[in-house]
Amino acid sequence: MNKKFVLGIYDDEDVLLTAIENIRAAGTKIYDVFSPYPVHGIDDVLGIKRSRLPIVAFFCGLFGTSFALWMQIWMLGFDWPMIIGGKPHIAIPSFIPVTFELTVLCAAFGMVITFFIVSKLRPSLRVNVFDKRSTDDKFVMAIEIKEGVTDLSALNNLLRTNGAIEVNEKEVVK
Amino acid sequence: MQHVSPIREPLVTGGKTYHDITEDVCRQVEAKPNARWAAALAVSLVGLAIFMYSVYRTLWFGIGEWGLNKTVGWAWDITNFVWWVGIGHAGTLISAILLLFRQKWRTSINRAAEAMTIFAVICAAMFPVLHMGRPWLAYWVLPLPNTFGSLWVNFNSPLLWDVFAISTYFSVSLVFWYIGLIPDFATIRDRATGPIARRAYSILSFGWTGSAKAWSRYETVSLILAGLATPLVLSVHTIVSMDFATSVIPGWHTTIFPPYFVAGAIFSGFAMVLTLMIITRKTFKLEHYITLEHVESMNKVIILTGSIVGVAYTTEFFIAWYSGVEYEQYAFINRAFGPYWWAYWSMMTCNVITPQLFWFRKIRRSLTATFIISIFVNIGMWFERFVIIVTSLHRDYLPSSWAMFSPTSIDIGVYVGTIGLFFTLFFLFAKFFPVVNMAEVKAILKSSSGVTHHPHKTMHGTDKDLNTNTHHSNE
């Protein structure tokens, strides 16, 4: 199904933040905002919840720690015990470096892979960019048009009075 | 909105707008390769050819092609390994530790510094792999089930810790670097005119659109990765130092090694960052992004870490005397006044004396002086590793086995070759990848560009020349 959007183009982050607040206060639902860099404070005005990725990182790290400890204890302590330098078979202090490294490795990779999956980022030739200037120097606010519901001229007016330098329409082919 | 003290120097000069940043950074990616770049790449390729030849000799004829002997079983290989790993550490320091400390000046240099990390670790990894003599069996260092028992790897060995540390460090750095590159690849993709460039950067940019939610997650991921990379970088050089410190060789068996090695790593890494940045800013005309302020900040890190290694050298000497162990005492006297005295004093001069010149603001802010001193530090830090490794080994407990080490042409070839490999990778990176992190520089532009903004004027969407107002350029 094709979706239609109204795009409000902004060229200043502070104007954008005020505009988002005003537009949301006016009862208009913002579909998404695209910016060339992370705009600080945009999460609050858009109502984006804090990401839960740190929790993913924590549990992946925990898995790394347990796996590394289990692996070393099982391999050197049970599967093929050998006396190395007169140390005990299960010499926990000398297992710490590998445990630490595997913790970091699992935490980092687990989090990043989750980030790619949830943000739908993957190598692909198809890219849906609403306005190509949003990766350069403009901030693009997209508002979905609902046929028969959205009053286009009022929306245009709302965007312009809130500092949009341009208002465009865009149809996205799904 | 953030408050920036008026006495702070702007980090981006020249009254740049967001679009200017895109243009300035994308210019060399989009332009046809110029003659200077091609010439530089050609020189690096000669280095790479030397590397290939030396590796061929090492693999075909064996480790006997190197100058190692029974007494000095580790020499240039491990020296070069530690030198390259150390160089890599500055990239992680800039991208991770300075991110945690909210140091905004890192934004325009972190991309190239992280690239340097990755290429330096690739160069470093060559040495232990080649020193195995049979690199096709390199997978034996991994705890894989095998037909010898299963006889597992020795988890008590620092050399095995190194395997885990270096490979984790490499892969986490690579991921961190790539995450930062994705938004910039999207910028290049959206500007690309040719079909090949558009496709290539579409794939590289992972379909990035810059939506608010994605940016929010991106920032979280960067912060957590920085939090993970910070202890990681410290652990890597700590473990590298344990390759020596856990042995019983006089001159190696010291508890001071981990912090001393980490400081030395950051010291040499910043020197290499400066060497590269001074060339890059000139070649790609990035003077407005990599300013004297950046150079000065890095020089301050160099004085700090240079002084730390100075203190470490003195402490080592003092402790050798204070320990009352005659072997320790001999090892240090032999370092400074034995047959390798020239290496020791080169190290002392390059690492302890030259960086102290940076106490003078004039020298700290002089590009020529910084470039020369950064080369001195690179050389000095190579000698540091050589001194620690070779002078400790060449005269051990038994005078009958004392020996000298001298490198063969293949030793030199592998070392010079890795420099060629490093610069080949770096020049390819500089041509096809954005050398400055555009998104992050844009994010600090409003607060750190020295441009006076009047946001209240633009509230009605009329004031178009927002970013072309008055600015103070300091060059």
Q: Please tell me the distance in Å from B442's CA to the nearest CA on chain A.
A: 6
Nearest by CB to residue A127, choosing from B19, B189, B439, is: B189
Q: What is the mean pLDDT of residues A12-18?
A: 83
How does DSSP classify residue A131? -
Distance, CA of B300 to CA of B302 (rounded, Å) = 5
Residues in chain B with CB shorter than 8 Å from the CB of A42 are 212, 215-216
- Three-state SS string across chain B, please? CCCCCCCCCCCCCCCCCHHHHHHHHHHHHHCCCCHHHHHHHHHHHHHHHHHHHHHHHHHHHCHHHCCCCCCCCCCHHHHHHHHHHHHHHHHHHHHHHHHHCCCHHHCCCHHHHHHHHHHHHHHHHHHHHHHCCCHHHHHHHCCCCCCCCCCCCCCCCHHHHHHHHHHHHHHHHHHHHHHHHHHHHHHHHHHCCCHHHHHHHHHHCCCCCCEHHHHHHHHHHHHHHHHHHHHHHHHHHHHHHHHHHCCCCCCCCCCCHHHHHHHHHHHHHHHHHHHHHHHHHHHCCCCCCCCHHHHHHHHHHHHHHHHHHHHHHHHHHHHHHHHCCHHHHHHHHHHHHCCCHHHHHHHHHHHHHHHHHHHCHHHHCCHHHHHHHHHHHHHHHHHHHHHHHHHHHHCCCCHHHCCCCCCCHHHHHHHHHHHHHHHHHHHHHHHHCCCCCHHHHHHHHHHHCCECCCHHHHHHCCCCCHHHCCECCCC
Question: What does the pLDDT read at residue B465?
Answer: 40
Query: Given an 8 Å threshold on Cβ–Cβ distance, is B228 in contact with A57?
Result: yes
Query: Given an 8 Å threshold on Cβ–Cβ distance, is B175 in contact with A112?
Result: yes
B312 has a chain A CB within 8 A of its CB: no
Q: Which distant-in-sequence residues (6+ apart) come within 8 Å of B434 by Cβ?
A: B25, B26, B29, B111, B181, B184, B185, B187, B188
Residue of A nearest to B228 (CA): A104
Question: What does the pLDDT read at residue B451?
Answer: 54
Q: Give Dmax over CA atoms of chain B in angstroms.
A: 87
Extract the residue ranges of chain B whose pLDDT is less than 70.
1-8, 448-475
Choosing among A30, A56, A98, which should be mutated to test the B contact, i.e. which has the most B CBs within 10 A? Answer: A98
Question: What does the pLDDT read at residue B462?
Answer: 40
ipTM at complex level: 0.91
Nearest by CB to residue B216, choosing from A12, A51, A101, is: A51
Residues in chain A with CB shorter than 8 Å from the CB of B208 are 121, 135
* Among A84, A86, A54, CA closest to A72: A84
- Percent residues over pLDDT 90 in chain A: 26
Residues in chain A with CB shorter than 8 Å from the CB of B447 are none
Question: What does the pLDDT read at residue B442?
Answer: 83
Phi, psi of B398 (to 5 degrees): -105, 110
Residue of B nearest to A19 (CA): B459
Residue A105 reports pLDDT greater than 70? yes
Residues in chain A with CB shorter than 8 Å from the CB of B215 are 35, 37-39, 42
Q: Please tell me the distance in Å from B372's CA to the nearest CA on chain A.
A: 36
Query: Given an 8 Å threshold on Cβ–Cβ distance, is A104 in contact with B172?
Result: yes
| Radius of gyration of chain A from its Cα atoms, rounded to whole angstroms | 25
Question: What does the pLDDT read at residue B4?
Answer: 57
Find tokens 């902004």 and name the residue. A10
Q: Please tell me the distance in Å from A60's CA to the nearest CA on chain B.
A: 12
Choosing among B2, B17, B18, B184, which should be mutated to test the A contact, i.e. which has the most A CBs within 10 A? Answer: B18
Residues in chain B with CB shorter than 8 Å from the CB of A108 are 171-172, 175-176, 225, 228-229
What is the strand order of the sheet A3-10 is part of?
A32-34, A139-145, A3-10, A166-172
Residue of B nearest to A104 (CA): B228
CB atoms within 10 A of CB B163: 20
Q: Please tell me the distance in Å from B454's CA to the nearest CA on chain A.
A: 10
Distance, CA of B24 to CA of B43 (rounded, Å) = 26
Query: Given an 8 Å threshold on Cβ–Cβ distance, is B22 in contact with A137?
Result: yes
- pLDDT tens digits for range A51-69: 889 999 999 999 999 999 9
Distance, CA of B363 to CA of B295 (rounded, Å) = 11
Question: What does the pLDDT read at residue B79?
Answer: 92
- pLDDT tens digits for range B350-399: 999 999 999 998 888 888 899 999 999 999 999 999 999 999 899 888 88
Query: Given an 8 Å threshold on Cβ–Cβ distance, is A97 in contact with B164?
Result: yes
Question: What does the pLDDT read at residue A128?
Answer: 77
Residues 220-249 of B with CB under 8 A from A: 220-221, 224-225, 228-229, 231-232, 235, 239, 242
* Among B211, B343, B104, B292, CA closest to A7: B211
B108 has a chain A CB within 8 A of its CB: no
Query: Given an 8 Å threshold on Cβ–Cβ distance, is B221 in contact with A112?
Result: yes
Q: Please tell me the distance in Å from B155's CA to the nearest CA on chain A.
A: 6
Nearest by CB to residue B210, choosing from A94, A109, A135, is: A135
Rounded to two decimals, what is the model's pTM?
0.88
Question: What does the pLDDT read at residue B472?
Answer: 43
Residues in chain A with CB shorter than 8 Å from the CB of B214 are 119, 121
Question: What does the pLDDT read at residue A158?
Answer: 80
CA B436 vs CA A62, A95, B208, B241, B286: distances in Å? 35, 40, 18, 32, 9
B177 has a chain A CB within 8 A of its CB: no
Q: Please tell me the distance in Å from A55's CA to the nearest CA on chain B.
A: 10
CB pairs under 8 A, 24+ apart, for B461-468?
B461/A15, B461/A160, B461/A162, B461/A163, B461/A164, B461/A165, B464/A11, B464/A165, B466/A11, B466/A12, B467/B15, B467/B16, B467/B17, B467/B18, B468/B15, B468/B17
Residues in chain B with CB shorter than 8 Å from the CB of A12 are 455, 458, 466
